[in-house]
Structure 1
Amino acid sequence: MGRAVLLTGLLLLGAVLLGRVDLVVLAAPFALGTAYALRRRPTAVPRLAVATGDPILVEDGPVAATVTVGAPGPVGYDLALVRTGVSPWLEMQRCGFATDREPPAGSADRPFITTVPPDAAVDLELSGRTRRWGRHRIGPAGTRAVACDGLLASRPVFAGGERVRVYPATDPFEAVEAMPRAAGLVGGHRSRRPGEGGELAGVRVFTPGDRLRRVDWRVSLRARQLHVAATLSDRDAEVVLLLDVLAEAGRSGGAGGRASVLDTTVRAAAGIAEHYLHRGDRVALLEYGLNARWLRPATGRRQYLTVLEWLLDVEPDEFEHEPFDHVFGPHLLSADALVVVLTPLLDDRSAEMLARLARAGRFVVAVDTLPAAAPGDRSSVAQLAHRLWRLDRENIVGQLRDHGVPVVTWAGSGSLDLVLRDVARLATAPRVGR
């Protein structure tokens, strides 16, 4: 518009100064075209909104969003330029505008162009898949509209983005061994205490108060005296998942790629929590770091959803102070709880924490979450340094085992069967009293 007005003014000024009518004829199309284009002009800036289909997603699952741009008045826009920011962990592609003419698909963070009819809105559909767990943002989005045959452009309009929660994909986990000690009477683990349950403890002589459905008629006919089947009570256990967030190693490749220490820790914690909550046990979560976040023990599906929500905020927490004193209080760790520590053992403070828990009489299982080293061309000096570091780390693992802390590498289902069996044996072994 500025060029049209400037050119028209220069031609008319030249016609007056030079007395040439042909310059007026040349200026007439520019003046008439500008006046005709400005006969109807928008009175409001475009409206922009970002909406997500489902705010709760799963890692490596589908994700969809909609960016809407509309013309609020009776005059539409000849062109609307829209651009949306998308988290790098969301692989989203443009499906196209909801119009008769569909543009080709493209990346979600590229600019898109469309026309907007009067008193109408156009939807930009985005779809794709999630690559990694966490809280991610779709947006903010910005647009700028052009009207009056390209003579007028609106100021930029921005819309805040929408946050989506991507829950981690739970690693498959199954443990068949019993808990060291059980407390309540609602779970599915076998207790050492006689009572109502499904685990057979033996056959004994009938006593007043025993239920008739417990009578073992074969033994009673053979012994000519009533005998009943004795069972062990079913009791729930308390499992505390302790997440070591002092160090992060490896580069996350998202779903289907290489896993970093934090990826392995979060996915393993989700799998272990799902297994024990499904069996009716109580699960609590605790961070070993500066923030020392804690999730109280509970059972049920609601606790599982709370665990997934809690895991979304797990971040590496590197600091120089010792977090042991303000992390482990008497109200956080029960004396009979099974403490599963997910740690890469990259910090000396982690090994000291495990040793303190073992000396305090806790039932501790250390799960190594350090990923395998990626193969690559390293120099002889780098290979030697890596070998020395490996030897030092194996020495730390050996010292922990000497303190009675079993260390097992995370391998999914069945990873903790052997160590849980050993811990259960230690829990039932007689202890020396003073």
Structure 2
Amino acid sequence: MTTGAPTRIREPKAVAWFLARRAVRLQGWRRTDALVRALVCGAGLMLVGLVMHRVELALMGLPLVVGLLLTKTPSGTPSVTSARGPDTVDAGLDAVVGVTVKPGEGAVLSALRMPLSTTPGVGPVHLLPAADGEVRTRLAWNAWGQGIYLRPDYLFASHDGLHVFGPVVGVAARHTVLPPIEPLVPGPLPPRAAGLVGAHRSTRAGDGMELRDIRPFQPGDRLRRIDWRVTLRTSAAVGGALVPQALHVRERHAEADADLILALDTRLDVAREVAEWNAHPVGTDVRQGGSLDLGVRAAASIAAAYLRNGDRVGLIDLGHPRGGVPAGAGHRQLQRIRHQLVHTARRVEGSGDPVLNHAQVPPGATVVVLSPFLDDQLVDVTVRLTRRGRVVLAVDLMPAELAADRTTPWGAAVVSIVRAEHAMRLRAMAGHGVVVVPWGHDGAGGQVAAILRRTRGRRR
């Protein structure tokens, strides 16, 4: 038996001709069902009048048939075009978007699909008079993520709805809404041991601004470091002679970089309703107010605060090791992190082991793990990272209150078990030196900064 390319089944010529004629009719103006029914009704009245010799019936159907046959089909080609908007916007902003409507000749009524101000997207259908102009609406981007913010579907109708053009699916305008940034006060981070230039004071001597010590001059010291006041006092004590033994120099602390690594758990997205944990949200990537939504907002806010402070910030995706962002500084790094947060949030799988290796974290970096901590594997990798000498801070994203599943009698028991296991994991991490902070209340960002400040003091 031989194998080869699959044989294509050819359609009959009659079917192909019918489909082609149907496509031609749908591409332009076409008669509606109302026009066809009126013609059939008028022709039926005339036929019945002729058969039954009822002149009044024939006279009733004749004007209807003649008038409909003389109805002119519109010749214009309506169009609805929208201006290209920005590909990236910040959450919390609003803007005015509009479409240009050209109904053409013969159109009287238009049905245009436009989004509302509170819900960007496809939107409902609006019935408007067919006229040249621009239709505008103001959109507010309250939720972050990727999607369609405008798709102007349209349909045009002639007088009495006898002919229609469309419906036509408009060109979808897509965009990326970056996570919002909450104002946070950053706390000082432990400096990297390998950094020699940065915004934080190191314990080693270097070319910083803060005075470390005053010591005698040694071979290799620069002349601009000489402290002439101490040198003159020392020379006066030995008789006023400026000898090499009287020279003293100022020794300063070196300024080092500080690295902050944000490890976000993108494997799970849980909300207050326990019954919806396994259900994928409809029409969006993440649940509004869920653990992943809180984690992305917290990561974006923390990254913005510490990058503004001059530190280096990186991102680790615990569910997808290749989806992280290496540590960097500057405004471009913040944009990279925000775009990557939107991209990683679309790949929630609900399973898999977390990946947080020692090699992913730069030497001397502070690690902030953001997760609801619903599995023991993440607790193990967090504790293992702490035992290697890392400064680790755990941000708990579990909702403060959980609603039991009312469709089963075991709903309340499930919530109790989940709460007990969650509290046990948090206590286990705290027992190994991991500081745990809940993010679901106001002032959590300031609490994170205060904990990092205390941690820096202990490290120094």
- TM more than 0.5: yes
Matched, 1:130 2:141: yes
**Alpha-carbon displacement from aligned partner over 1:4-29 (angstroms, at most 9, x marks no partner):** 32233234334544556555543454
Count of matched residue positions in the alignment of Structure 1 and Structure 2: 399
Q: Distance in 2 between matches of 1:397 and 1:234?
A: 35
Which amino acid letter does the alignment assign opposite residue 118 of structure 2? Answer: E
Question: Is the Cα–Cα contact under 8 Å of residues 342 and 366 in structure 1 kept in the other structure?
Answer: yes
Shift of 1:212: 5.5
Shift of 1:60: 2.2
Question: Is the Cα–Cα contact under 8 Å of residues 239 and 283 in structure 1 kept in the other structure?
Answer: yes
Matched, 1:317 2:348: yes
**Where does residue 345 of structure 1 map in the other structure?**
373
Matched, 1:155 2:166: yes
TM-score normalised to structure 2 length:
0.74
Q: Secondary structure at the match of 1:397?
A: helix
User: Which residues of 2 match residues 77-88 of structure 1 at below 5 A?
Assistant: 77-84=107-114
Q: Secondary structure at the match of 2:263?
A: strand
Shift of 1:351: 0.5
Matched, 1:60 2:60: no
Shift of 1:43: 5.5
Range that drifts further, 27-36 or 265-274 = 27-36
Q: What RMSD, in angstroms, separates the aligned Cα atoms of the two structures?
A: 3.7
Q: Distance in 2 between matches of 1:2 and 1:258?
A: 49
Shift of 1:288: 0.9
Match of 1:415 among 429, 448, 454: 448
Q: Secondary structure at the match of 2:149?
A: strand
Q: Secondary structure at the match of 2:153?
A: strand
Shift of 1:127: 1.4
**Where does residue 393 of structure 1 map in the other structure?**
422
Match of 1:335 among 341, 345, 363: 363
1 or 2, which has the higher strand percentage?
Answer: 1
Q: Distance in 2 between matches of 1:387 and 1:13?
A: 78
Q: Secondary structure at the match of 1:200?
A: strand
Which amino acid letter does the alignment assign opposite residue 402 of structure 1? Answer: G
Q: Cα gap change, 1:155/1:319 in structure 2, threshold over 3 Å: closer, same or farther? A: closer
Shift of 1:312: 0.9
Question: Is the Cα–Cα contact under 8 Å of residues 182 and 189 in structure 1 kept in the other structure?
Answer: no
Question: Is the Cα–Cα contact under 8 Å of residues 270 and 307 in structure 1 kept in the other structure?
Answer: yes
Unpaired runs of at least 5, structure 2: 1-34, 236-245, 274-283
Q: Secondary structure at the match of 1:202?
A: strand
Q: Secondary structure at the match of 1:194?
A: strand
Q: Distance in 2 between matches of 1:228 and 1:259?
A: 58
**Alpha-carbon displacement from aligned partner over 1:214-264 (angstroms, at most 9, x marks no partner):** 444443444444433321122212322111223322259x9xx98321122
Matched, 1:307 2:307: no
Q: Cα gap change, 1:23/1:384 in structure 2, threshold over 3 Å: closer, same or farther? A: closer
**Where does residue 34 of structure 1 map in the other structure?**
68
Shift of 1:47: 2.5
Q: Distance in 1 between matches of 2:350 and 2:149?
A: 31
**Alpha-carbon displacement from aligned partner over 1:288-339 (angstroms, at most 9, x marks no partner):** 1156522122221111111111111233734544343xx5373x32233222
Higher-Rg structure is 2
**Where does residue 101 of structure 1 map in the other structure?**
none
Question: Is the Cα–Cα contact under 8 Å of residues 147 and 153 in structure 1 kept in the other structure?
Answer: yes
TM-score normalised to structure 1 length:
0.78
**Alpha-carbon displacement from aligned partner over 1:405-428 (angstroms, at most 9, x marks no partner):** 2323341124243345335634x5
Question: Is the Cα–Cα contact under 8 Å of residues 184 and 301 in structure 2 kept in the other structure?
Answer: yes
Matched, 1:176 2:187: yes
Q: Cα gap change, 1:29/1:383 in structure 2, threshold over 3 Å: closer, same or farther? A: closer
Q: Secondary structure at the match of 2:445?
A: coil
Matched, 1:369 2:397: yes
Which amino acid letter does the alignment assign opposite residue 192 of structure 1? Answer: T
1 or 2, which has the higher helix percentage?
Answer: 2
Q: Cα gap change, 1:371/1:159 in structure 2, threshold over 3 Å: closer, same or farther? A: same
